[in-house]
Amino acid sequence: MEGALILRFPDMAAARAWYESPAYQEARKHRFQGSDYRVFIVDGVQEA
């Protein structure tokens, strides 16, 4: 199965805080057991 998930955060600091949070780090262990994946944290564009 292939797919993509896009999450939106108010800024880069919030995205990194989520990724490094204890809750996500715990869940991430299970993700590695079930699949291969990559995470990209990128700056987006402002809404019009």
- Residue 20 is predicted with a pLDDT of 92
Higher pLDDT among residues 1 and 9, named by residue:
9
* 33/26 Cα distance (integer angstroms): 12
Q: Between these two residues, 11 and 1, which has the higher pLDDT value?
A: 11
Tell me the per-residue pLDDT of 17-41, one tens digit each, with 9 for 90 and over. Answer: 999 999 988 888 877 776 777 778 8
pLDDT of residue 1: 60
Domain definitions of the chain by residue range: 1-34
Instruction: Tell me the C-alpha to C-alpha distance, in Å, between residue 33 and each of 5, 16, 37.
Output: 18, 22, 11
The better pLDDT of the pair 3, 10 is held by: 10
